[in-house]
Structure 1
Amino acid sequence: MIFPGSRYAATEVVELTVPDGVRRRSLAGRRIPRTPGVLEYVVLDGERLDTLAARFYGDPRKYWLILDANPEELDPLELLRPGRRIQIPRDRTGPR
């Protein structure tokens, strides 16, 4: 079940047949919209994505907004390297 307002709400559900013949439903890959940062932030030692999301959006579950705004780095731990400059985008999810 995908909840209304989820970043996956508009993602297509696809049906796949696995090698043993069982049919499985899955979400297609999510297209990440261009997400320009509006704030450049320098990561401090010990920071985490959930605490940054809580600080900037008031909700630690919105950490994925920061990941979407920094697509050049696929490793969240590398993204949080102290001294690294990252982009913090606007909250495009609207009020929850």
Structure 2
Amino acid sequence: MFHTGSRYAGAGTYQVTRPDGSVVLATRLPVPAALPVTGWHRRTEGERLDLLAAHYLGDPTAAWMLGLANDAMVLDALAVRELVAMPRRV
């Protein structure tokens, strides 16, 4: 259901019964763990996080890892930071 690099790949699923009686499958939310920081990147205006993830982590879809390394619940919070911590490539 999720690609192998997704944070949801091994999260598991469970069933939920909706008010109308239908049953749907839901994905468990993974417990975020702090990622070790290997360095810092000074952002320039308009620099996109997917491009940073592609450059430093080898995967543009791994931008969510930047959020974990910077203790940011929402990636948009990194837009105001001049320095962004870069996690170790997995």
SS of 1:80's equivalent in the other structure is helix
Q: Does 1:74 align with 2:73?
A: yes
Aligned-residue CA RMSD (Å): 1.8
CA deviation digits over 1:38-73, x for unaligned, max 9?
A: 1122221111111111221232122122122122x2
Structure 1 runs of 4+ aligned residues shifted over 4 Å read none
Q: Does 1:16 align with 2:16?
A: yes
What residue in structure 2 maps to residue 34 of structure 1?
A: 34
Q: Does 1:89 align with 2:87?
A: yes
Percent of paired sites with the same residue: 31
Q: CA 1:75 to 1:39, structure 2 compared with 1: closer, same or farther past 3 Å?
A: same
Q: CA 1:68 to 1:77, structure 2 compared with 1: closer, same or farther past 3 Å?
A: same
The letter for the 1-side match of 2:84 is I
**Superposition deviation, residue 5 in structure 1:** 4.7
Q: How many residues align?
A: 90
Unaligned runs of 5+ in 2: none
Unaligned runs of 5+ in 1: none
